[in-house]
A and B are shown apart, each in its own frame.
Chain A
Amino acid sequence: MSFLEIRGVGMRFGGLQALDDVSFRVERGSVVGLIGPNGSGKTTLMNVISGVYKPTAGSVTFADKTIANVPTHQVCRLGIARTFQIVKPFASLTVRENVAVGAMYGRDGAKRTTAQAFDHASELLEIVSLARVADRPASDLTIPDRKRLEVAKALALDPDVLLLDEVMAGLNASEVDEALALLRSLSERGVTLIVVEHLMKAIMAVSTTIVVLAEGKKIAEGAPLEVTQSRAVIEAYLGARYVKRQEAARAVADARAAEGAR
């Protein structure tokens, strides 16, 4: 049995099929890049894996448990943590208090006193470069800092699997490099990552496997280079007409080259 398995997952919102028969396995310690155009169902899949939504078809299993049967607040105790793409800070609490809540109620939370939870939160704020605003209310944070806070809150749960939904949006180039270094170090510590990101450079740099969604369906899965060169993926991203035009252009160029060689 595999570590984390997504099996035939479907999610329907009224008339909209946001996910349709999506299946893949996530191996322990891997870094799965989950990509796809806007509205392709990436966030919905994160919500299903983290138990926030119950799928209307199929199942997600982790540690011999079907996530849909586990209350949302217990999913993190199994070892799955996630960030929210639309950030959800506890606005009136300080940044440190935000993270401390995770340290109090997450996987090892029962073992921590309030003071220990605050200490753990402080350590995590160092890691995500938020120590400088630790005592400010979360409502004061900029968008990139709010994304960092999401990551720190998820880390406070001591996860085995971390789902990151567009946490690099809005970061500048050097901040992206910092974030990538953080992901690598988490991965080296054995945390399994599922990363949604639009920045291809970032996805290519960290992923061991890439899964591509388009209109709720899985259209490709494999090693990064292989997947990004697949015709289906390029079509999904850039449109079928773009692919045809590219192919026509290449045919013309090839013909010219052939002519030139003659």
Chain B
Amino acid sequence: MAVATATAPPARRVGLGGITGSPLALKVVVGLLVLALAVPLLHNGYYENLFRGILMFSAMALGWNLIGGYTGYVSFGNVVFFGLGAYTSATLASHGIENVWVAVPLAIVVAAMFAVALGVPILRLKGHYFGIATLGIALAVQEIVANVDALGGGTGVTLHQAAWYSQYYYAMWLVCAGSLLVTWFIARSKFGYALVAIRENEDAAAVLGVNATYFKVAAWAISGMMAAAAGAVFAFSTGFIDPPSAFSVDNNVFPIVMVLLGGIGTVAGPVVGAILLTAINETLWSHFPQIHTLFFGAVIVIVVLFLPRGLLYLQNARGGLRGMIDSLSAYRV
């Protein structure tokens, strides 16, 4: 049925501010990312490690944001992809292929296959059940890896690092920039609108023609690819991995907190959150080495209680103070 009208369509707004989030924040983040290219030129090991960490967590947070933020399926086990990525590197290394540029694409393929194989059954679960299933999977995979001797078992794997150490920094930069670019494309595309429609109301989305299963699995797979790519680089840059480091609780929880802190369901939010949380973490470390974990826990609680949709939400066109009050009343129990 074609509906024709005499009136001219009003100015349209494709994806602006809507599901991409604040355009200003995005510009700032892209600017910072370009500046971050220069970090290895400082020849300062501390800064290089610090910023590689931010890039790593940004990629993981961007990944989590795709399934947890845009699609509304809160995963408590995205670290499984990070771990799979790290072990892809480790396995390659133990077969003599000690090359991060080979490991990253392979890790992405491994993550995609894993996500599709498990996503079809577990993404039929709604809400909390999905979250619990992802946590279960992460714990199970860690346990399996710890018991497979070919993967180094519980003792771990050592990877020999190349002489040009900064290549791992640039690899992580590319993983982060790629994740940001992919998120940006998704947020402006039909694909992104399908994800948000699923988050807002899955039944209504289905009636409008959105194949929810397909989009959820795709979102989870892309989410996993980002984490796996970060994990693959991490294994080389750190030089040694074992199950507790590859599947660590920190790597599972930090990306979630970063997304909440920066702005859930926005393009730039996860990166903003990664920068801020890392800065907070570093400050607390240097000032309160003994009770740093306690302070850090308090920061997490404060974020979840008072900024449930993140800092960017405050200056979003639709946010402001009223937006924050709305989000408080909507999200707080």
Q: Which residues of A contact B (CB under 8 A)?
A: 50, 52, 71-77, 81-82, 84, 88-94, 96-97, 100-102, 104-107, 109, 114-115, 117-119, 122-124, 126-127, 131, 134-135, 137, 153, 155-160, 186, 189-191
Contacts and interface: CB of A to CB of B under 8 A. Distances in A.
19 contacts: A52-B207, A71-B211, A73-B205, A73-B210, A76-B209, A84-B204, A92-B196, A93-B196, A100-B193, A101-B194, A101-B205, A105-B194, A105-B209, A107-B209, A114-B188, A114-B193, A118-B12, A134-B10, A186-B1
B208 interface: yes
B150 interface: no
A131 B11 CA distance: 11
Nearest to B318: A137
Nearest to A103: B208
B333 interface: no
The 8 closest A-B pairs by CB, nearest first: A105-B209, A90-B200, A88-B204, A122-B9, A118-B12, A102-B208, A72-B206, A88-B201
B294 interface: no
A158 B206 CA distance: 15
B21 to A, nearest CB: 12
A105 B210 contact: yes
A154 B107 CA distance: 42
A76 B207 contact: yes
B2 interface: yes
Given A93-B18, A100-B193, A159 B1 contact: yes
Interface of B: 1-5, 7, 9-10, 12-15, 18-19, 188-190, 193-194, 196-197, 200-201, 203-212, 265, 318
Contacts of A137: 318
Given A92-B196, A114-B190, A158-B2, A119 B9 contact: yes
A153 B208 contact: yes
Of the candidates B203, B209, B211, the one having the most CB atoms from chain A within 10 angstroms of its own CB is B209
A60 to B, nearest CB: 15
A189 B200 CA distance: 32
B5 A102 contact: no
B318 to A, nearest CB: 6
A96 B17 CA distance: 13
Nearest to B326: A139
A131 B14 contact: no
Nearest to B197: A101
B208 A114 contact: no
Contacts of A100: 193
B206 to A, nearest CB: 4
Nearest to A163: B207
A95 to B, nearest CB: 11
A97 B18 contact: yes
Given A76-B207, A114-B190, A126-B7, 5 more contacts: A84-B204, A93-B197, A97-B18, A118-B14, A123-B7
A91 to B, nearest CB: 6
Contacts of A156: 208
Contacts of B210: 73, 101, 105
A243 B318 CA distance: 56
A68 B210 CA distance: 17
Contacts of B211: 71, 73
B5 A126 contact: yes
A122 B12 contact: yes
Contact of A96 (B12, B197, B207): B12
A192 to B, nearest CB: 10
Contacts of B19: 93, 97
Given A72-B207, A105-B208, A114-B190, A190 B18 contact: no
Nearest to A109: B209
A59 B6 CA distance: 41
A160 B18 CA distance: 31
A122 B10 contact: yes
A71 B211 CA distance: 9
B207 to A, nearest CB: 6
B26 to A, nearest CB: 18
Contacts of B7: 123, 126
